[in-house]
Amino acid sequence: MKKIIRKSLIILMVLNLAVLIAGCSGGKETDSNTKSKTITIDMEKLSSYLIKNIEFDGQMSSMSSEMAANVFDVSDLDVEMCVYMGTAPCRDMIAIFKTKDANAMKDLKDRVEVYISDVKAQTVDNGYDVSQEKKFDNYVKKVLGDYYIVILSPDNSAAAKTLDEAIEK
């Protein structure tokens, strides 16, 4: 009888913990190697958290969805987005995208990569500070279900840790 009660309590505690974790994080984390699970991320809330907890070189400003769609050349894709860019000449960026399907995700990732490559080339060609150029090396890019998150910061490894911490919450 005690074993049954103990097992029941353990199962109940595990289920409680799972519900608590899912409620705090807004969903379950998945990586690009697994099938997409249904997760929900409050893009504005996550962006705010990242802005407060990652050190950027400049002031971060919100970009309208229409402007961001033009900047990343994704106007023809069915993509929701929340984008913050650093003031010039800083190349800081937080971009969170939500796609509707795997094809849109592939197109989105390709176009964001082209954008970042072009901006890196402009940064080098225009003689920006070398510290700006290093932001493009190992920039943060993460797929979580239908979401694609990209961060360019002075310390991309610290930004990646901060993103992981935010997702765990």
* C-alpha distance across the termini of the chain, in Å: 37
CB 60 within 8 A of CB 85: yes
Q: What pLDDT shows up at residue 121? A: 84
Q: Is the pLDDT of residue 22 over 50?
A: no
Q: What pLDDT shows up at residue 11? A: 54
Q: What pLDDT shows up at residue 34? A: 40
Alpha-helical segments (H) within 26-138: 43-53, 65-71, 102-125, 130-133
- Condensed to tens digits (0 to 9), the pLDDT of residues 32-44 reads 444 445 789 999 9
pTM of the shown model: 0.74
- Condensed to tens digits (0 to 9), the pLDDT of residues 135-158 reads 888 899 999 999 999 999 999 999
73 versus 130: which is more confidently predicted? Answer: 73
- Condensed to tens digits (0 to 9), the pLDDT of residues 43-66 reads 999 999 999 999 998 899 999 999
User: Length of the chain, please?
Assistant: 169
Q: What pLDDT shows up at residue 37? A: 54
- Condensed to tens digits (0 to 9), the pLDDT of residues 87-128 reads 877 789 999 999 999 999 999 999 999 999 998 888 767 666
